Amino acid sequence: MKLKGIVIGLAMALAFTMTGQAISIEELQSSPQFKVIHESRPDVPGADERTTWYLDTGTLEVLEYAPPVYKIKAHVYNVYQSPRKHVIYGDSWIVTYDARQSLASQVYRAKQNRASLTTAIQSAQSASGMEGLEQDLGGFSFDGTPLPRQKAASKRAILRTQLNTTRYDIADILFYEAYHMHFDDIVVK
């Protein structure tokens, strides 16, 4: 009986420490559960590569709904394709949104305070109201074979002004998928 308890405990521990299930490009492209949310190609003549991000809509979950603060979790898959490399990276995203820092809220406050447009823009660039935590779900070849990948979890502000706005766009799409409105359209007076 004691051995059975140990085996069950080990099985539970293994189940909760697994990072994710293997996924293939065929599954991402053919299952309605996966939605293309962002695509990018280098702005370089002759570059033959692209990256496509997919949202696993089955994992979209509202963790906190306490306006003006919201928290959403979802799995996002990043598919990178080039002549030499085809790989899928999975991440669990948890994004916390503070609507007091949405663009509409900041513009509203700037108007109320008779602040200059420059001040409003600077404020919006330095504080988006979004913070993201990304946790690794693993890397996979296009046929779903797991690939070695060691990526530490990363938690950081999601800014509007970065040259690469992919993280900001994805965070906004997660909010839109959950609430059918863009985060930056919310006004907190």
Residue range 25-41+49-185 in CATH 2.40.128: yes
Question: For position 167, what pLDDT does the model report?
Answer: 92
Q: What b/e string do you get for 85-95 counting C-beta neighbours within 10 Å, with b at 16 or more?
A: eebbbbbbbbb
Helix boundaries (H) for the chain = 2-17, 25-30, 103-112, 117-126, 166-179
181 has pLDDT over 80: yes
Cα–Cα dist 113/78, whole Å: 42
Give residue 20's pLDDT band: very low, low, confident or very high (50, 70, 90): low
Gap between the Cα atoms of 71 and 19, Å rounded: 21
- At residue 162, the pLDDT reads 64
Tell me the percentage of the chain whose pLDDT exceeds 70: 88
Q: Up-side HSE of residue 97: CA atoms within 13 Å toward CB?
A: 33
- Helix or strand holding residue 156 (H, E): strand 154-157
Cβ–Cβ < 8 Å for 134, 92: yes
- In tens, the pLDDT along 46-103 reads 788 999 999 999 999 999 999 999 999 999 999 999 999 999 999 999 999 999 999 9
